[in-house]
Chains A and B, each alone.
Chain A
Amino acid sequence: MSTLSAAPMPSLSHRASRWFSRNLIRIYAGLAFIYLFIPVAYTFAFSFNDAGKSNLVWQGFTLDNWKNPCGAPQVCSAVANSIQIGLLSTFIATVLGTMIAFALGRHKFRGRTSTNLLIFLPMATPEVVLGASLLAMFLNLRVNPGFWTIVISHVMFCISFVVVTVKARIASLDPRLEQAAMDLYANEKDTFRYVTLPLVMPGIAGAALLAFSLSFDDFIITNFNSGIETTFPKFVYVSAARGIPAQANVIGSAMFFIALFIVIIGQVVSRQRKKS
């Protein structure tokens, strides 16, 4: 910080280059973040576009899209469908996945390896194969794809992610907390209810949020198993050729801020818990 030294010019450029090389990796990371957020910013900006017929180029600023997000045909029914499917599949996948995670994390049993494999495989299979195989089965069984086949497929691919998330939380618990509860004469059921479950709860909540966002955002598997049912991503895909309505940008931006809000609340709550 000493600016008293003589000959400032060479040392300034020298210092600048030193600062640059020392912070190179931070600059690089900053650029990566800009790259990550360019399309998000674009989507947000164009939610204010006075689009009229074409939302492809900027036509002028308006708040109308935000005041009336259901203004474009089908947008809101697609979103409502996505939310219903998301909630249903999140609920089922979270319950089933949490049960599996407890079996894996707290019990000894035969067939652990094959169970792990069955959890891992859906995550290692491309979505197009998951979607195509499920559709092949539905077609062979003469089942018409629609709302329920979407829910079935979403539960299927969400379970693995729930298991992995909850299992990690269970593994990070200190088993001595449970032993302490047992030492204090809590029976197995009470230990689970008053000690284990509350401790694992943040993991379950995180898994549920993950499942919901995976379900809400899924396109490929949904596209294969939806028949004529529309979800929000499917709506965007179908209307992409003609340019998506600005209202879809409103929905996307709103989802972004709602999710960010939930995550920040979660962080604040967990930090305060740690303090107390």
Chain B
Amino acid sequence: MAFLHGATRTHSGPRSGIKSRSITPYLLLAPGMIWLVTFFIIPIFSLASTSTMVRPEGAQIGTYVQELRFQNYVDAFVANQEQYVRSFIYAGIATLLALAIAFPLAYTIAFKAGKYRNVLLVLVVAPFFTSFLLRTVAWTQILGDEGPILSTLKLLPFIDDSLRLTATPFAVVSGLTYNFLPFMTLPLYASLERIDPRTLEAAGDLYANGFTTFRKVTVPLAMPGVVAGTLLTFIPAAGDYVNAALLGNPSTKMIGNVIESRFFAVVDYPTAAALSFTLMATILILVTLYIRKSGTDELV
């Protein structure tokens, strides 16, 4: 194999295509693209259409007609702005915490793990294999009123007996942080792993101390991973409602909880649709601004 790498590099990128301008790529694309258009794009339009519907006077629950009532958006936002803002705050904190935990973790795996690198990578993904819901339920019991942490803490004389860990913002944010940690770690690892250790040595040779090397060489080179990791954590965290439902209380509800209960408990489809649409739009705008600002366009 070695001689191949010495040969002249003829392939310009991955698509030194077998053929160009044939019908083959379109045949390959068609089934999957049709699936995505039918079950992703069209539903988004369906959601938009539902969001401006109105329930006619005296009609059955769950019956709505199209009246292009854009006031629905204003009403939905005004009624739920608290949960809306809270979702982004919780997701933002969880993302920062996940970054703080995942960066040293990814760094250790990439530079300090030696031959155990693959083992550690498997260990990062392994908790995924136990269902996400089971792990969240486990946290509710570990942090719960009868759980091991609280019952140990309450043995201490200065801990108030009414102290609770679940049903608090703390529990919801740590649940979010926990659940999306691997999504942060893997992209970080992927970009750290690509760094040639010699660039770090070179920085040292040029009299940069450890911290300067980290700040001026490691972090900039890890930026694509930071961007991908924060997006992969922030987006699902902002829309999540499982953590808030299991680990929170009514005053920690996030926008996902509202959308879910509007759909199922209240059967108010237009409000749920308007909220979902606003959530998606906000996230898309934030993501676009963020990617522009960090200057890494090659995410996919």
A155 within 8 A of B: yes
Write out the residue numbers on chain A whose beta carbons fall within 8 Å of the beta carbon of B44.
Answer: 133
A-facing residues in B87-116 (Cβ within 8 Å): 101-102, 104-105, 107-109, 112
SS class of chain A's interface: helix, strand, loop or mixed? helix
Could you say which of B72-80, B135-143, B153-161, B198-206 contacts chain A?
A: B135-143
Contact A136 B269 (CB under 8 A): yes
* Distance in angstroms between the alpha carbons of A127 and B140 in the assembled complex: 22
Write out the residue numbers on chain B whose beta carbons fall within 8 Å of the beta carbon of A137.
Answer: 39, 42-43, 46-47
Contact B132 A37 (CB under 8 A): no
Contact B122 A263 (CB under 8 A): yes
A-facing residues in B41-62 (Cβ within 8 Å): 41-44, 46-47, 49-50
Q: Which of A96, A104, A249 has the most CB of B within 10 A?
A: A96
* Distance in angstroms between the alpha carbons of A228 and B163 in the assembled complex: 38
B131 within 8 A of A: yes
Write out the residue numbers on chain A whose beta carbons fall within 8 Å of the beta carbon of B107.
Answer: 25, 29
* Distance in angstroms between the alpha carbons of A233 and B239 in the assembled complex: 18
Write out the residue numbers on chain A whose beta carbons fall within 8 Å of the beta carbon of B47.
Answer: 129, 132-133, 136-137
A159 within 8 A of B: yes
* Distance in angstroms between the alpha carbons of A164 and B37 in the assembled complex: 18
Contact B14 A171 (CB under 8 A): yes
For residue A134, which residue of chain B has the nearest CB? B43
Knowing A156-B36, A174-B11 are in contact, say whether A102-B50 is a contact too (CB < 8 A).
no
Write out the residue numbers on chain A whose beta carbons fall within 8 Å of the beta carbon of B173.
Answer: none
Q: In the complex, how many angstroms separate the beta carbon of B183 from the nearest chain A beta carbon?
A: 11
Q: In the complex, how many angstroms separate the beta carbon of B209 from the nearest chain A beta carbon?
A: 14
Contact A249 B101 (CB under 8 A): no
B32 within 8 A of A: yes
A12 within 8 A of B: no
Contact A176 B4 (CB under 8 A): yes
B284 CB contact (under 8 Å) in A43, A57, A124: A124
* Distance in angstroms between the alpha carbons of A175 and B14 in the assembled complex: 8
* Distance in angstroms between the alpha carbons of A35 and B123 in the assembled complex: 12
Contact B35 A159 (CB under 8 A): yes
B-facing residues in A83-128 (Cβ within 8 Å): 95-97, 99-100, 102-109, 115-116, 118-122, 124-128
Write out the residue numbers on chain A whose beta carbons fall within 8 Å of the beta carbon of B269.
Answer: 136, 139
Q: In the complex, how many angstroms separate the beta carbon of B191 from the nearest chain A beta carbon?
A: 14
Contact A106 B15 (CB under 8 A): yes
Write out the residue numbers on chain A whose beta carbons fall within 8 Å of the beta carbon of B287.
Answer: 124
Write out the residue numbers on chain A whose beta carbons fall within 8 Å of the beta carbon of B122.
Answer: 260, 263-264, 267
Write out the residue numbers on chain B whose beta carbons fall within 8 Å of the beta carbon of A216.
Answer: 131
Contact B35 A25 (CB under 8 A): no
Interface size classification for chain A: 35 or more
A220 within 8 A of B: yes
SS class of chain B's interface: helix, strand, loop or mixed? helix
Contact A132 B140 (CB under 8 A): no
For residue B101, which residue of chain A has the nearest CB? A32
A232 within 8 A of B: yes
A197 within 8 A of B: no
Interface size classification for chain B: 35 or more
Contact A153 B108 (CB under 8 A): no
A186 within 8 A of B: no
B226 within 8 A of A: no
Contact B276 A118 (CB under 8 A): no
Contact A105 B15 (CB under 8 A): yes
Could you say which of A3-11, A62-70, A250-258 contacts chain B?
A: A250-258
A223 within 8 A of B: yes
What 0/1 readout, one digit per residue, does chain B (2-39) give for beta carbons within 8 Å of chain A? Answer: 00100100110011111111101110110111011101
Contact B29 A99 (CB under 8 A): yes
* Distance in angstroms between the alpha carbons of A120 and B41 in the assembled complex: 12
For residue B108, which residue of chain A has the nearest CB? A29
A219 within 8 A of B: yes
A248 within 8 A of B: yes
B-facing residues in A129-152 (Cβ within 8 Å): 129-130, 132-137, 139-140, 152
For residue A54, which residue of chain B has the nearest CB? B146
B39 CB contact (under 8 Å) in A119, A156, A163, A188: A156
B265 within 8 A of A: no
A36 CB contact (under 8 Å) in B11, B41, B124, B300: B124
B positions within 8 Å CB-CB of A: 4, 7, 10-11, 14-22, 24-26, 28-29, 31-33, 35-37, 39-44, 46-47, 49-50, 101-102, 104-105, 107-109, 112, 118, 120, 122-142, 144, 146, 178, 181-182, 231, 235-236, 238-242, 245-246, 255-256, 259-260, 263, 269, 272-273, 276-277, 279-280, 283-284, 287, 299-300
Nearest 5 interchain pairs by C-beta = A126-B239, A96-B32, A259-B129, A39-B138, A107-B25
29 contacts between A and B (CB under 8 A): A25-B104, A32-B181, A39-B138, A39-B139, A97-B32, A99-B28, A103-B26, A107-B22, A118-B36, A121-B40, A126-B279, A128-B239, A128-B240, A133-B46, A136-B43, A137-B39, A137-B42, A137-B46, A170-B14, A188-B18, A213-B128, A216-B131, A217-B132, A220-B240, A220-B256, A232-B131, A237-B245, A240-B133, A260-B122
